[in-house]
Amino acid sequence: MALAGFQTKADLVYERLRDAILSGELRPGERVNIDALSRELGISKIPLREAVQRLTSQGLVVQPNPHAGAQVAPLSLREMRGVYLARGALEGLAARVAATSVSDAELADLQELHEQMRQRFTTGDHRELSALNRRFHAGIADATHYATLRELTDLTLLRVQHYRVGVRVEPAWGQVITEHSAILDALRRRDADRAERAARDHVEWQLGVELRATLDPSLIDLDDD
């Protein structure tokens, strides 16, 4: 987990740790060893502690008790359902609000992201699809013109991304793009009810895909009680 460039900024350390967690390099339940990371990255402990505090506030790191230290948040099937429950409610609300507040420029930006996803899917270039997908959903939250909705959307997308560490499934990008089309169409029509339903349906479909996938029991606690 190399650290390039200017090595003393807490933001840079945060990004490296976040990416290590989201890629599975740091596994769920693994201890975040500040001393070892300080030596490995060649930086002081202060930016590391700041980064860990930020990751804790986002639910990617937990500190069960003061003596155990920080560890990567464990994953469970039950909490996975909870994350998607929250995401569905939040993205449904964001789409409803955006239907009455989105500007023509914001609609054009969403359409451009949608077209980029379609083009990459058609040509078989899937490398940027996940990032474009997150930008599309964040763009809808931006179109509400409420900073809180954008912040909460970013947080839930981050948690969803973490759960995908333990999900073995190929993304069904064709269906994702089709469902994005339905959300965009509702936004263009300024139809709040339809936009909310399309956004909720999209999240519910995605949860269904992931629940039917192979879940890695070494990464996700499959006890659903």
Q: Is residue 184 domain-resident?
A: yes
| Distance of alpha carbon 182 from alpha carbon 188, whole angstroms | 10
Query: Would you state the structure tokens that stand for residue 91, as one six-digit string?
Result: 């993205």
* Pair 200, 126 in one domain: yes
pTM score over 0.85 = yes
Domain boundary among 46, 72, 98: 72
Closest CA relative to residue 72, chosen from 154, 157, 168, 159: 159
Whether the per-residue pLDDT at 73 is higher than 60: the answer is yes
Report the CATH number that the domain containing residue 39 is assigned in CATH. 1.10.10.10
Q: Quick one: pLDDT at residue 6?
A: 46
Q: Quick one: pLDDT at residue 127?
A: 83
Mean predicted confidence (pLDDT) in 105-125: 95
Q: What is the DSSP letter of 221?
A: E
* Pair 35, 57 in one domain: yes
Q: Quick one: pLDDT at residue 69?
A: 83
| Distance of alpha carbon 105 from alpha carbon 73, whole angstroms | 39
Mean pLDDT, the chain, whole residue set: 92
* Pair 127, 176 in one domain: yes
Domain boundary among 56, 72, 88: 72
Residues 155-170 have pLDDT tens digits of 999 999 999 999 988 8
Q: Domain span at residue 90? A: 75-221
Most confident region among 50-59, 62-71, 90-99 by mean pLDDT:
90-99
Cβ(50)–Cβ(197) below 8 Å? no
* Pair 170, 156 in one domain: yes
Closest CA relative to residue 81, chosen from 188, 185, 174, 203: 203
**Cα angle: 220, vertex 222, 224; to 5 degrees:** 125
Contacts of 6 (CB under 8 A, 6+ apart): 12
Q: Quick one: pLDDT at residue 9?
A: 62
Closest CA relative to residue 152, chosen from 219, 220, 57, 70: 57
Cβ(182)–Cβ(189) below 8 Å? no
Q: What's the structural domain count of the chain? A: 2
* Pair 61, 172 in one domain: no
Mean predicted confidence (pLDDT) in 66-83: 91
Q: Alpha-carbon Rg of the chain, whole angstroms? A: 19
